[in-house]
Structure 1
Amino acid sequence: MNPRRARASASLAVFLVLAIPLGVGPARAVAEPSLSEAFARAGAAYDVPGDVLAALAYSQTHLDGHDGQPSASGGYGIMHLVSNPVARSLERAAELTGEPAATLRKDDSANVLGGAALLRSYGDEVGLSAAARKDPAAWYPAVAAYAQASSAEVARLFADGVYEVLGRGVRAKAASGEAVVIAPRPIRPRRGDYEKVPDLQGDLGTAAADYPSAHWVPASSNSYSVANRPASSAIDRIVIHVAQGYYAGTISWFQNPNRTPNQLVSSHYVVRSSDGDVTQMVREKDIAFHVYTWNSRSVGIEHEGFVSDATWFTDAMYRSSAALTRDIADRYGIPKDRTHIVAHSEVPGNDHTDPGPYWDWNRYMQYVTGGTGPAPGKYWVDTFADAPGHATPGGARTGTLLRGTNYVYCRTWGPIVQSGSSFNHWWLKTDLDSGSPWQNQWVSAYYLSRWGNDQAKDNNGNDIPDCT
């Protein structure tokens, strides 16, 4: 099984960041700290809007601290506190909060506090008054500064992404199991001087890109080799990467020349998770430093996200990346198969694991070869959390369907599943990722991330057919 994995961001209908229990477990003497409470408390401590802080975290890490392991650019925790030769926001957060850097790396509440302290310090630097600090729209320049980007253009790209999260809202599962909700809150940010900065999501540099739908943002010249491919060497492979970082941060990292020699890496393209936006950073004729032994023969495509977190691999990302891969393959006569379109982990001489176990190769290659959806009789749906599977609708628990993009066969009306104001009577027939038997088990449509109460729709917004 397993022809899947990924998830699109959810839209919410609450105006506060809060926690929704996703299941009932054994009673505990001491409750685990709530991440939602951590955002609220840190925001109050440093006079930072809690939802801005949460959106800032989500845009960088999807609220996953990755067990204290750093991103590719050296960012730690759900607030992505950075420690690398170029940026030292982790160390600055330690100074501001008095917390040891080791604690900030691994403890979610401390990490959130560090992020709030940093954001407040940037707010002070741009001159936010006590009154302005109450207005989320006024925090835009401080949010842009938080990115520590290589250019003002990338800083604007980062800040715009944070405010897009605020506008559409998010429902995300934290490591503790709580559902952290950022309610939709459309805000017209006050960009200040950034209003004059070119928008990388606009038409800037498109004419310089090899792929018409891409923006052109060149990588640092010391992170690739100028060449004249395919005249100098044939291009016969396309390599799929996961960046271990977020979109604007990856672009900034590839642009920065002040990295150590082993960090001078690049890729030809970077693809965003939320909407499939594409940025080209190295011309295809030139040799990006992305796979060692196959650099001269390949084109590299980085994807925003982390290999251990399926939530980054959205339908929009798959479709956009597949269209890019198809275009490259057509222009260079590369066969559209898994021999020529490969994972970073499959390239000889590499020790990387990306794109990892949650990358849905079956689905991706179907899009590359021109398919637009799952096999007949199956429908893609996005689940915001691991969903318990049942032998019958509401019956005995049999296993788990992992969060991400999954296929289902049909729906039926059954017992209500409810938490707070969220509920759903629809049940979906699907295949579980764990448990026995795994085939044709039932999952409540409560766990669908895109749609509202008592709906069961596929990712295109169409009603899933009733089971016969």
Structure 2
Amino acid sequence: MQLWLAAAVAAGVLTAPATVPLMSAAPTSSGGRQADFAAAAREYGVPESVLLAVSYLESRWDANGGRPSTAGGYGPMHLVDAFPAGVHEHLGDAHGDPRGDETRPMTPAHAHAALRVSDAQQQTTLPEAGRLAGLPPERLRDDPAANIRAGAALLASYQDEPSSDPADWHGAVAKYAGTDDPKAAGAFADEVFSVMREGARRRTDDGHLVELDPVPDLGTWDPDTFPHPGDPDDFAWDDDVPGTDEQEQPSTPKGHTAGGGKAECPASLHCEWMPAAFKRFGKKKNRDYGNHDRLSRKRSVDYIVIHDTEGGYQGIPSLIRNPKYVSWHYTIRSRDGHVAQHVATNDIAWHAGNWDVNTRSIGIEHEGYLAKGGTWYTEAMYRSSARLVRYLAAKYRIPLNRAHILGHDNVPGTTPATVAGMHEDPGPYWDWAHYFELMKKPFKAAKDGDSIIIRPDYATHRPRFTGCETTKPDKKCPPHGASTVWLHKSPSHTAPLVDDIGKRPGKASTYSVYDHSARASTGQRYAVAERKGDWTAIWYLGQKAWFHNPASDPTAIPAKGPLVTPLSGAVKVYGRAYPEKSAYSKASVQPLTPLKYTIPPGQTYTVGDTITGTHYSANAYRPSKHVTTTGTTRYHQIQLGHRVMFVMASDVRLVHPSA
């Protein structure tokens, strides 16, 4: 206990921690979680705004049903306990080839080389917090009120001198981050102060309404209001902003680093440069290399792909430095939002499972698990990721919409054989609406819309899911907010779900958290096929798909944008936008392989982009031997189902709705 805290106890200002575990720390009967924060703040002399902001960043004030985070943290204050070593299960699992290039498929030994990586134990805080509050560890895991009280005691122990002024608590908050990296700790504290400055209001996962009133005049630099010189975080596609020119990061095979060994990030994030391996291996006659491709020219980037790690952050360094493993550009840690960059954004990481998308995208991994019900997709992680994506979108002129900010589960398969094995992360519990609000691009309703954007209320929309427990795939998942709506064959909750002949050929769609065959996600725009009472039908994978959309509690908003409809006959659909055969002269011809889906006459689909077919051949370690083929075939990127896909512009009629 800090000396000032002991003195306050002796003077009767605060209550001394009990020497034996307390029998109760039940929530205040009248005020719920809000009152729990207020009581804990008073007891330990922590400004209530500081306690609320720390908890909001760590857990969004959620209890998460007593389930631990990927770091072993529990409750609203994310008190970290000893946690079993984790296993990284996602990036190199059995879901296919992350490189997605059949001209050089990754062998199982290559893609799975580092599948099992144990996580080192993290710094624990739960035992000390329990000691300070006089509460047993099991109470801190299961009782949110006890967790808040112990978290307040821990935070108070980090404060050198008592103060009622929130501005004086920056150092204590930085220590609460639980990292030995002073820059990461400082960035966490800065973000806590940003939360205090902005204020917050949210209903928790267990139904408590909690509010944090804005706290002005904190006297700390605000990265959203006062960007650093040369930081394009708050500049939209400004060619004159220093540091936004991709040519400033040259790419060479030898001694290559991003920005001279510095991560490409907004200055406010204090990102770490943790380089991925770029190395040859194997016998001389059949040498391979990993784990990404470097470019000697400027790269055009169209997408940012959002992933989750399906494992703990502690295993990331070992994985990313293994040349026999796959790669991605950034990883964001859950508990404090710390960002590490591994591959220069001008280089191609192997992350999406579709080579065409890999060549035109940046991949960002987020520590967490798809099936954990949104547990520990923390506010700290959302805010760091949103700031990073805004920075990258400004740098590469990427539109901030769901046609260009994709989940891994929105990336199409390359051929009919690969569709079923494509990944499903970050899954239905990723809060896309909140994410885009943080990027200052919220989804807004259009007047006289001719299409719709999926937009359920995340906090109250709790659809049915199964499969959150791998040993009990048919068991219903705990109720939790979600960003997706179920799609039925007719306007009824009891009607069968629509089918996905690519994802589940010959099988019916399921309610599994891993099965997106019959789901539409927040921010995705679809053409309306029909309306009937409280139900709306959209065109989806060549069929009408109905979702519940009552006027009293809508799950979609009106939208505007270009559409396409077949010119004549059924239109073929593709998983990549490759050039025509005659365009290839220096590289092997890539077949234009259509997927199983087609668009029948009379249906319409929304357009997210229009591009010319290209292919980047990188069958060599040295980028000087890479070949770019550009054709004349034009493609429209459409929202066909849960995933985006491509149709040839010559096969469809483009419809431009009135402004």
What interval of TM-score do these two structures reach, taking the shorter chain for normalisation? 0.5 to 0.7
| One-letter identity of the residue aligned with 1:179 | L
| One-letter identity of the residue aligned with 2:169 | W
* Aligned residues of 1:267 and 1:288 also touching (Cα < 8 A): yes
1:304-323 aligned within 5 A: 308-309=373-374, 321=389
Question: C-alpha distance in 1, partners of 2:394/2:29?
Answer: 50
User: Equivalent of 1:77, from 75, 78, 85?
Assistant: 75
- Determine the structure 2 residue equivalent to 1:462: none
- Determine the structure 2 residue equivalent to 1:269: 330
Give the structure-2-normalised TM-score.
Answer: 0.40
- Determine the structure 1 residue equivalent to 2:195: 165
Instruction: Quote how far apart the aligned CAs of 1:68 are.
Output: 2.4
Instruction: Quote how far apart the aligned CAs of 1:300 are.
Output: 2.2
Question: C-alpha distance in 2, partners of 1:96/1:289?
Answer: 47
Instruction: Quote how far apart the aligned CAs of 1:175 are.
Output: 2.9
Secondary structure of 2:71 counterpart? coil
**Can you give the 5+ residue segments of structure 2 that lack an aligned partner in the other structure?**
1-27, 84-120, 232-242, 250-257, 279-289, 463-479, 486-532, 537-545, 555-659
* Aligned residues of 2:67 and 2:74 also touching (Cα < 8 A): yes
1:323-338 aligned within 5 A: 324=392
User: Equivalent of 1:439, from 531, 549, 562?
Assistant: 549
Instruction: Quote how far apart the aligned CAs of 1:272 are.
Output: 11
Instruction: Quote how far apart the aligned CAs of 1:438 are.
Output: 3.2
Instruction: Quote how far apart the aligned CAs of 1:188 are.
Output: 1.7
Instruction: Quote how far apart the aligned CAs of 1:177 are.
Output: 1.6
Question: C-alpha distance in 2, partners of 1:315/1:154?
Answer: 14
- Determine the structure 2 residue equivalent to 1:153: 183
- Determine the structure 2 residue equivalent to 1:144: 174
> 1:217 and 2:271 equivalent?
yes
Question: C-alpha distance in 2, partners of 1:387/1:341?
Answer: 20
Distance 1:74 1:272, change over 3 A: closer
Question: C-alpha distance in 2, partners of 1:118/1:169?
Answer: 23
* Aligned residues of 1:219 and 1:254 also touching (Cα < 8 A): no
| One-letter identity of the residue aligned with 2:196 | L
* Aligned residues of 2:70 and 2:368 also touching (Cα < 8 A): no
Number of positions where the alignment pairs a residue of Structure 1 with one of Structure 2: 346
Distance 1:219 1:109, change over 3 A: farther
Question: C-alpha distance in 2, partners of 1:77/1:163?
Answer: 21
| One-letter identity of the residue aligned with 2:294 | R
Larger Rg: 2
- Determine the structure 1 residue equivalent to 2:158: 122
Question: C-alpha distance in 2, partners of 1:48/1:254?
Answer: 31
Instruction: Quote how far apart the aligned CAs of 1:343 are.
Output: 3.0
> 1:64 and 2:62 equivalent?
yes
Secondary structure of 2:50 counterpart? helix
**Can you give the 5+ residue segments of structure 1 that lack an aligned partner in the other structure?**
1-29, 331-335, 389-400, 407-429, 445-468
- Determine the structure 1 residue equivalent to 2:364: 301
* Aligned residues of 1:166 and 1:182 also touching (Cα < 8 A): yes
| One-letter identity of the residue aligned with 1:43 | A
Question: C-alpha distance in 2, partners of 1:100/1:37?
Answer: 22
User: Equivalent of 2:307, from 234, 238, 241?
Assistant: 241
| One-letter identity of the residue aligned with 1:354 | P
Question: C-alpha distance in 2, partners of 1:387/1:404?
Answer: 8
- Determine the structure 2 residue equivalent to 1:354: 426
| One-letter identity of the residue aligned with 2:228 | G
* Aligned residues of 2:330 and 2:341 also touching (Cα < 8 A): yes
Distance 1:64 1:40, change over 3 A: same
* Aligned residues of 2:266 and 2:391 also touching (Cα < 8 A): no
Secondary structure of 1:202 counterpart? coil
Instruction: Quote how far apart the aligned CAs of 1:81 are.
Output: 1.5
1:76-95 aligned within 5 A: 76-83=74-81, 85-95=121-131
* Aligned residues of 1:78 and 1:108 also touching (Cα < 8 A): yes
Identity of paired residues, percent?
29
- Determine the structure 2 residue equivalent to 1:416: none
Instruction: Quote how far apart the aligned CAs of 1:82 are.
Output: 2.2
Give the structure-1-normalised TM-score.
Answer: 0.53
- Determine the structure 2 residue equivalent to 1:229: 294
Distance 1:341 1:353, change over 3 A: closer
Over the aligned positions, Cα root-mean-square deviation in angstroms equals: 6.1
Cα-to-partner distance string for 1:434-457 (whole Å, 9 max, x where unaligned): xx993342249xxxxxxxxxxxxx
Secondary structure of 1:134 counterpart? coil
Distance 1:49 1:305, change over 3 A: farther
Distance 1:76 1:285, change over 3 A: farther
Instruction: Quote how far apart the aligned CAs of 1:140 are.
Output: 0.9
> 1:109 and 2:149 equivalent?
no
- Determine the structure 1 residue equivalent to 2:466: none
Question: C-alpha distance in 2, partners of 1:280/1:311?
Answer: 19
* Aligned residues of 2:79 and 2:125 also touching (Cα < 8 A): yes
Question: C-alpha distance in 2, partners of 1:223/1:89?
Answer: 34
Instruction: Quote how far apart the aligned CAs of 1:285 are.
Output: 6.6
| One-letter identity of the residue aligned with 1:176 | D
User: Equivalent of 1:202, from 221, 228, 239?
Assistant: 228
* Aligned residues of 1:67 and 1:106 also touching (Cα < 8 A): yes
| One-letter identity of the residue aligned with 1:103 | R
Question: C-alpha distance in 1, partners of 2:338/2:80?
Answer: 24
Higher helix fraction: Structure 1 or Structure 2? 1
> 1:386 and 2:460 equivalent?
yes
